[in-house]
Amino acid sequence: MLKSYMILSIILFSIGVVGLISRRNIIVIYMSIELLLNAVNLSLIAISADLGESSGQIISLIIIAIAASEAALFMALFVVLFRNRGSLDANLFDILGEKHD
């Protein structure tokens, strides 16, 4: 049973990586990152249930807290970037590479 959980977690992680690399919409990129975190959580919880040790659940609880703070920062970034560029295209967001004189 643990093996099927691990395989499902690998499949979800790969789907998340594919979405992260190939899409240009920043909201979809953000949700792919969340999918990566969820795949890791799933494997952690499966392992902790298999070992009968609740430390894995604590780690995934901390990961959920980190994901929540990441969500707050990403939402602020979406609002700022959409206000400045008027688009959700990740290729347009090159503010750090611009020359300002």
Residues that bind other proteins (CB under 8 A): 1-8, 10-19, 21-25, 27-28, 30-32, 34-35, 38, 41-42, 45-46, 48-52, 54-55, 57-58, 60-62, 64-73, 75-80, 82, 86-91
Q: How far apart are CA 68 and CA 70, in angstroms?
A: 5
Q: How far is CA 6 from the centre of its chain?
A: 18
Q: How far apart are CA 19 and CA 28, in angstroms?
A: 7
Least distance between other proteins and beta carbon 43 (Å) = 10
| Residue positions counted in the chain | 101
CB nearer other proteins, residue 17 or residue 101: 17
